[in-house]
Amino acid sequence: LAIPEFYFQVLGANSALPTRDRFPSSFILAYKQSRILIDCGEGSQIKMAEYKIKRSKIDHIFISHMHGDHVFGLPGFLNSLTLSGRKKAIYLYGPTALKTYIDAVIAATGGHLGYELCYHLLDTDEVTDLGMVCGLQVKAVPLQHRIPTYGYSFTEVMSEYNIDPLKIKAHNLPRSEILLAKSGQDIERENDTIAYQDVTLPPREMRSMAYCSDTVYDPSIVPAIKGSTLLYHEATYLEELRDKARERMHSTTTEAATIAEMAKVDTLVIGHYSSRYVDVNPLLKEAQKVFDNTMLAVGGKKYEIR
């Protein structure tokens, strides 16, 4: 069985001011055939068209917080779904003001949606289990920012074991017994029992992705994102602007890399760059001093989670 496709794609990873080639926060998390939208800054739809991402594939949208650079693209996106004839519900996750915002925009613009919006509104200081979404176990992780903000972690769940093809022959397993072992049950035969571990391959390590933007440096999130295969963490400023980062409740490169180091993630992707940086390579170099396997979020790029 092939390992399912799992990647994180950047639509935009700039902070507040959109520039010609750097759009505000918006990301796609792809798992198997599903596409999850994370934040929806201005211009998200333009980037989806450019990168050939089908709107109709998106059923779930996770919003970190209500700052405009994360939500100004959302009403337009929802409206486009109606225009393209969508009937299936959309599931929205985010702070309580998310519903207030969407209701107000729809009412003020005299619009209507041709499908249902199902909200999962968050108002908590605790890490919260949001259940299974598209085959991924999702948790909301409260972040420290100027308004209520949540990070999200997405973890693969192994739905079944893979059969060791050599054992099918060795034990003469019929389809019924293969299905039993795949589901993790032992095979009971008249005179003996075959443990499912004896005929299945060792479970592969489950992959996960954590999204933390926007946030001040906050080591208390480390347990919730520990061991993530890929961590996206904002790094709005270079270390020389640490005071500014504190004041605006953002992180520096060094701080993002320190979180990655403490959480022992495999790969760190940094983004949410302040538009003051024309060249973002110095941000990368500074983060890599603390956490070597750091990458820059670049529009359009896919980061495989493996």
**Least distance to Zn ion, CB of residue 232, Å:** 13
H runs (alpha helix) in 26-139? 44-50, 68-71, 74-83, 97-108
What token pair was written down for 43?
Answer: 């211009």
H runs (alpha helix) in the chain? 44-50, 68-71, 74-83, 97-108, 165-171, 175-182, 196-199, 222-225, 242-248, 253-263, 281-290
Select from 69, 156, 177, 286 the one that contacts Zn ion (CB under 5 A).
Answer: 69
Q: Is 198 a catalytic residue?
A: no
In the chain, the N- to C-terminal Cα span, in Å, equals 15
Crossing angle (nearest 10°) for helices 281-290 and 253-263: 40
Which helix or strand (DSSP H or E) is residue 208 part of? strand 208-212
What are the residues facing 211 on neighbouring strands? 152, 232
Paired sense of beta strands 6-12 and 26-31, if any = antiparallel
Query: How far is 143 from 220, CA to CA, in rounded Å?
Result: 9
Query: How far is 204 from 207, CA to CA, in rounded Å?
Result: 9
Could you tell me how many residues of this chain bind Zn ion (CB under 5 A)? 3
Nearer to Zn ion, 75 or 148 (CB): 148
Nearer to Zn ion, 181 or 221 (CB): 221
What token pair was written down for 264?
Answer: 């022992």
**Least distance to Zn ion, CB of residue 68, Å:** 8
Query: Residue 127's Cα: distance from chain center in Å?
Result: 15
Q: Is residue 42 a contact residue for Zn ion (CB under 5 A)?
A: no
Q: Which of 21, 59, 69, 292 is catalytic?
A: 69
**Least distance to Zn ion, CB of residue 16, Å:** 6
Query: How far is 240 from 234, CA to CA, in rounded Å?
Result: 16
Residues 260-299 interacting with Zn ion (rule: CB under 5 A)? none
Residues 202-261 interacting with Zn ion (rule: CB under 5 A)? 214
User: Collapsing DSSP states into helix, strand and coil, what is residue 92?
Assistant: strand
User: Collapsing DSSP states into helix, strand and coil, what is residue 147?
Assistant: coil
Residues 94-113 interacting with Zn ion (rule: CB under 5 A)? none
Select from 22, 67, 139, 207 the one that contacts Zn ion (CB under 5 A).
Answer: 67
By residue count, the chain amounts to 306
Contact residues for Zn ion, defined by CB under 5 A: 67, 69, 214
Q: Catalytic positions, please?
A: 69
